[in-house]
Copies of this chain bind each other. A is one copy, B any other.
Amino acid sequence: MASPRRTTLHDVAQEVGVSAKTVSRVLNGDGPTSEATRAKVMAAVDKLGFQPNLMARNMRVGGPDSTVGLIIPDMGNPFFGTVAGGIESAVRERGLTLLMGSSADDPDRERALITTFLGRRVSALMVVPAAAADHGHLRAARTAGMPVVFLDRPGTGLTADSVVSSNRDGTREGTTHLITGGHRRIAFIGDRPATLYTRRERLAGYREALETAHLPYDRSLVLDGHTEAEAAEAVLRVLHSPHPPTAILAANNFAAMGTVRGMVRAGRRDIALVSFDDLPFAEVLEPAITTVAQDPAAIGTAAAEIALARLDGDRTRARTVTVPTRLIPRGSGELPPSA
């Protein structure tokens, strides 16, 4: 590992025969510089392949590092990936780069990542909170001027900005869509644990729709499934129960995929389905799946905008931005009750 020392500002200065500060001025377009030296400096920079050390720069300037820390549960999940992409495109213009880590929804890993990010002096911190995590420990950092934004779910133990989907309204709209189609027995299948924020909100929207329509809330129609397989089994069971539903509201896409499989296995293509969160294959299935689409990229950009405003001095109260969902009728939600 006898890697040659990287060329520094001083090397360039020496090459040209000026002071380091002059090179710095040229590179940052800072103070006044003569055309002559400017040209010579640029030539030397090119010749030596000099690349300024951003760590050193950030440190001297004293401000935060030019990164945004982002913690999501799972990088392979396109929902979170798209959120990340939204953030990136919004902060890129400001010269900020994404420092990313995945928590696997594990509070300890989340905490470790946060510690690392704070140590790196990120400009802002964006977190999709792990299920059982507490965020009180972030208070100091926020007081020190570092914006904290929670994504997808509000954080716990700390009042901070957050950006979420309109889970409740979206699910209500989806459920109402089924009711309007004539359904009176509609099952809800959601994630576990039942205390999960998104699960709670979506269930609440489902119940609101039932109430508005004066339909009874039947607990035997509320199903759980943390994996696709579990969801499929739960659906299979309820379809074989004495009083099966004629429609199903799947509260996330694992549940939706499991529901489709369960229906296929039960040989019931006549059950209506609305899925919360859009799926790449929703249009390909037959019938195509009616979905309540979220807008993950918008969640990302909204979060980035809040963080940037905070960095620009916005000191108003913490707010929660709700990104609207959109019902996309495609066919599966339009099946009439057949039971």
Contact = CB atoms under 8 A, between A and B. Distances in A.
19 contacts: A1-B313, A3-B143, A4-B143, A52-B119, A53-B121, A55-B55, A56-B59, A74-B85, A75-B82, A76-B296, A80-B81, A97-B113, A97-B120, A99-B100, A257-B280, A257-B284, A279-B280, A284-B285, A286-B286
Given A81-B77, A283-B261, A6 B144 contact: yes
A90 to B, nearest CB: 13
A125 interface: no
A85 to B, nearest CB: 4
B283 A280 contact: no
Contact of A55 (B92, B120, B296, B313): B120
A143 B96 CA distance: 27
A285 B144 CA distance: 52
Interface in A62-83: 65, 67, 74-78, 80-82
Interface in A209-266: 257, 260-261, 264
A24 interface: no
Task: Determine the main DSSP class of A at the interface with B.
Answer: mixed
A260 B280 contact: no
A99 B99 contact: yes
A109 to B, nearest CB: 9
Nearest to A6: B144
Interface in A282-339: 283-286, 296-297, 313
A54 to B, nearest CB: 4
A292 to B, nearest CB: 18
A279 to B, nearest CB: 7
A81 B79 CA distance: 10
A157 interface: no
A264 B280 contact: no
Closest 4 pairs (CB-CB, A-B):
A3-B145, A281-B281, A76-B82, A75-B85
A80 B81 CA distance: 9
A58 interface: yes
A116 B101 contact: no
A233 to B, nearest CB: 15
Contacts of A6: 121, 144
A236 to B, nearest CB: 14
Contacts of A102: 85, 88
Given A1-B145, A88-B100, A97-B100, 18 more contacts: A3-B144, A3-B145, A6-B144, A51-B118, A55-B59, A55-B65, A59-B59, A75-B88, A78-B81, A80-B81, A97-B99, A97-B101, A97-B117, A98-B100, A264-B284, A264-B286, A281-B285, A284-B285
A76 B88 CA distance: 12
A184 to B, nearest CB: 27
